[in-house]
């Protein structure tokens, strides 16, 4: 029996989660924040990084589910120290996922800054050239 014929392309694709608090992006029982009462993620808001913790003690108040802990956006070792101190007694896999996400978010912030400076330089160049053309 050939198993490769039975698997369609739809089944081969990983199911992705649309929840903004998801760590991995995968929508499965151990990775989805809706399915777990104990969960840890990282989010980025306007260039600042926050470690978000959800514990079963706060499940009855949905407005206070997440505890936000600010992290430095540039210093990886300091951020990892804070993360490990908060997730000391948690599952090692969740700690690994949070660290992985921190690295991705750091790279994203760097890329945003680079693109912003590039756009500024391009605008300055256009401004200068238009001024030059006007005075010709």
Which residue has the CB atom at the shortest distance from Zn ion? 17
Does 98 sit near Zn ion (CB under 5 A)? Answer: no
CA distance 70 to 82: 9
Residues 13-72 that bind Zn ion (CB under 5 A): 17, 27, 32
- Residue whose CB is less far from Zn ion, 25 or 70: 25
- Residue whose CB is less far from Zn ion, 30 or 72: 30
- Residue whose CB is less far from Zn ion, 40 or 71: 40
How many residues bind to Zn ion according to rule CB under 5 A?
3
Q: At its nearest, how many Å lie between Zn ion and the CB of residue 114?
A: 32
**What is the three-class DSSP state of 132?**
helix
β-pair type (66-71, 39-45): unpaired
Which spans in the chain are helix H? 3-6, 9-12, 76-86, 92-134
CA distance 93 to 101: 12
Residues that bind Zn ion (CB under 5 A): 17, 27, 32
């Amino acid at each position: 029996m050939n198993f490769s014929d039975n698997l369609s392309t739809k089944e081969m694709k990983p199911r992705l989660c649309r929840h903004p608090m998801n760590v991995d992006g995968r929508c499965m029982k151990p990775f989805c924040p809706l399915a777990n009462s104990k969960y840890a993620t990282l989010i980025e808001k306007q260039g600042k990084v926050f470690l978000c913790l959800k514990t079963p003690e706060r499940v009855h108040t949905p407005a206070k589910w997440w505890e936000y802990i600010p992290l430095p956006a540039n210093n990886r070792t300091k951020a990892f120290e804070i993360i490990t101190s908060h997730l000391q007694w948690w599952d090692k896999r969740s700690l690994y996922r949070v660290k992985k996400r921190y690295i991705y978010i750091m790279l994203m912030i760097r890329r945003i800054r680079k693109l912003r400076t590039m756009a500024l330089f391009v605008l300055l160049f256009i401004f200068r050239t238009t001024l030059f053309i006007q005075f010709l």
